[in-house]
Amino acid sequence: MSGCSVNIKSLSKGFGQTPVLRSVDLDIQPGEFLTLVGPSGCGKSTLLRIISGLEKQDAGTVSLAGRVVDDLPPKKRELAMVFQSYALYPHMTVFENLASPLVMQRLSFFQRMPLVGALSPGRKHLRKGIEAEIHSTAKQLNIDMLLHRKPGQLSGGQRQRVALGRAMIRKPELFLMDEPLSNLDAQLRVQMRSELASLHRTLGATFVYVTHDQVEAMTMSDRIALMIGGEIVQLGTPNEIYENPCDLRAAQFIGNTPINVLPGSVDEEGWVNLLARRLSMRIGGSPSREISIAVRPEDVTIKPFKVETVGGLLKLPSKIRHIENLGNEAIVYCEVENASVDLVAVRVAKRDLAEIVEGNASGQRVAVEFTEARIFLFDARGKRLNFQTEPVRSCAEIGRPS
């Protein structure tokens, strides 16, 4: 199986007066695992439902495998959907749930009838083929011992596997998945994440996966389309989006502990200033303006406070407010002294923490330092700004006090 391409062009959709999708363009490659991720209400499910044919767009086109499918009903689009709610028949056994898509696909109306169908030529042979495929799919998903049970007798994880089996059994080239793991507990989600990723590799089909969970998006996808307010604000590999966010909202959404954002400004000469300190960064040809300075918690370090260690360019005297213990590491939240900015989150390996903090760390003074090369700058509209790194000249060199 090679998977089918999905091409979305200028897709718009509104409900009443509210625009939900704003001229979305997206090309998904055959066999790709593409995740639509974004905050609640950004339009992910609506986009998925339009691809499936369950919802109709106001404008724009959807093509599957190079063919425009806008006028095709969901059944004719040759794709499979997996929902958060499993969508299983509660009165049927797992075997019957898995059988039903194939029975509908392969047996004629008469062959499906209980008495007349039994006399129909070829039915026995078709049934045997279906049975073999059910056993093979169930084995692949590790639910072969559950075939006689009904959905009510299964755990959440087992139900989701049956739902996946129902989707897989017709061997579609495109899977659309809407938050399939969100009803599972944290441990099972981690396990199912890796199972889904390996299922994708085995099947070779195209997966379009909707989630608001950025960890799911980062761990499973070939590419992520990050949606905010009905638009795709960034499309790229998980690493590209994490390492090189083009938009402040993308930087803030991706990252297990949110990125630190501090208010900065650019002076008439293009120098970037943070909390009244001039940094060694310069933005070309820019007028005076407000910007956002963002840095991820792992790109901030804290050191025990010593008068000689603070006062450098990016060494900010701060106080520890609280520490979040994550087991192998900790997130230390610091309040920058004499500045009304949000707490700065610092990721610290557990083994290093003891060298920095003593006893009840709350209130302890530390020096917070940003790794300058890892800083992102964004303009007032949230668009990424490029900067050059230049050593800051002394007041004498500049020719006037700074």
Interface positions with ligand ATP (CB under 6 A):
15, 20, 38, 40-46, 212
The conformation of residue 98, written as its DSSP 8-state character, comes to H
- Residues 209 and 221: their CA atoms lie apart, in Å, by 9
Q: Which is nearer to ligand ATP, 182 or 273 (CB)?
A: 182
CB of 353 to ligand ATP, least distance (A): 35
Q: Which is nearer to ligand ATP, 16 or 399 (CB)?
A: 16
In single-letter form, the type of residue at position 127 comes to: R
- 289 SS3 class: strand
Q: Which is nearer to ligand ATP, 45 or 260 (CB)?
A: 45
CB of 63 to ligand ATP, least distance (A): 21
Q: Which is nearer to ligand ATP, 54 or 331 (CB)?
A: 54
CB of 251 to ligand ATP, least distance (A): 19
Output the CA–CA distances (angstroms, integers) from residue 64 to 5, 52, 70, in the order listed.
6, 10, 10
- Residues 326 and 381: their CA atoms lie apart, in Å, by 34
CB of 135 to ligand ATP, least distance (A): 35
Q: Which is nearer to ligand ATP, 40 or 328 (CB)?
A: 40
Q: Collect all residues with Cβ–Cβ distance below 8 Å to 230 and sequence separation of at least 6.
A: 19, 20, 21, 22, 24, 42, 43
CB of 233 to ligand ATP, least distance (A): 13
Enumerate the H helices of 141-213 as residue ranges: 156-168, 186-203
Q: Which is nearer to ligand ATP, 84 or 260 (CB)?
A: 84
Cβ burial of 131 (10 Å; 0-12, 13-18, 19+) is middle
Neighbour tally for 21: CB within 10 Å: 27
Nearest by Cα to 214 from 252, 157, 260: 252
- 188 SS3 class: helix
Q: Which is nearer to ligand ATP, 228 or 330 (CB)?
A: 228
CB of 58 to ligand ATP, least distance (A): 13
CB of 21 to ligand ATP, least distance (A): 8
